[in-house]
Amino acid sequence: MKLIMLGPPGAGKGSQAKIISKEYNIPHISTGDMFRNALRNETPMGLKAKSFMDKGELVPDEVVNGLVEERLQNEDCLNGYVLDGYPRTVNQAEALTMILDKNNQSIDYVISIDTSDKTVIKRLTGRRTCSNCGAIYHIDNNPPEVEGVCNFCQHDVIQRDDDKEDTVRNRLEVYKEQTQPLINYYKDLNLLVEIDGEKDLSDVFANIQEILEASE
Ligand code: AMP
């Protein structure tokens, strides 16, 4: 099964992708996580991506497309994958179609998670992330057991620079301008399914599961 998660930042794409990955035993491919790992390891690509990420802007298409093409060659992708945060522009969607065509593959579903600006801002500005293992917390409904310390690896839990309010607002603008057009792009290809992202995590997953299992 090959899936794309679409939706604004903070819609819950990453959380849903993690559950789908576990439930269906397919890799979760998050370009944002790939850039954050590259940055932690101070690779040239990570350092290049940082300047864009800190401002809430998109890393140039050619960098992201190359990264994803390489990742999809891995053996663990043979049975499918769930893409989270890619594609994010029409150029990336076209590049992905070309990569898939080359391998005689196609996407099964594009799951678009609809979420209001208000919800996105509340979720993202309250989100906290472990600086080491990437575990996600929220100041209101899922704080770490000890403030500022990760429950799993005991490293610092921090606010990502791009989760600060000004950057979140910019990320939303970037989403509307550059990523939202993909909704029609995939609607035209008959691949789009729309899910209400205002519900809680387990209800959203139940809706996704209904769609995936109805097709089996
Ligand atoms: P995310 O964790 O998916 O919100 O991604 C964090 C940041 O990484 C984004 O704000 C972008 O700067 C960068 N990024 C992740 N995926 C992409 C992509 N497909 N195209 C361009 N930039 C990306």
Q: How far is the CA of 216 from the centre of ligand 1 (A)?
A: 31
18, 28, 35, 84, best to mutate for ligand 1 pocket (most atoms within 8 Å of CB): 35
Residue 96 to residues 7, 89, 99, 101, Cα–Cα distance (Å) = 17, 11, 5, 8
As a CATH number, domain 2-27+74-115+166-214 is 3.40.50.300
Per-residue confidence band for 134, with pLDDT thresholds at 50, 70 and 90: confident
* Domain residue limits, the chain: 2-27+74-115+166-214
For residue 183, give the DSSP letter: H
* Catalytic residue status for 160: yes
Question: What pLDDT score does 215 carry?
Answer: 67
Ligand 1 contacts CB of residue 35 (under 6 A)? yes
Question: What pLDDT score does 92 carry?
Answer: 98
Mean pLDDT on 67-88: 95
* Catalytic residue status for 127: yes
* Catalytic residue status for 13: yes
Please, how many CA atoms are within 13 Å of residue 54, restricted to the half-sphere of its CB? Answer: 7
What's the whole-model pTM score? 0.92
Residue 216 above 90 pLDDT?
Answer: no
C-alpha 175: how far from its chain's center?
Answer: 12
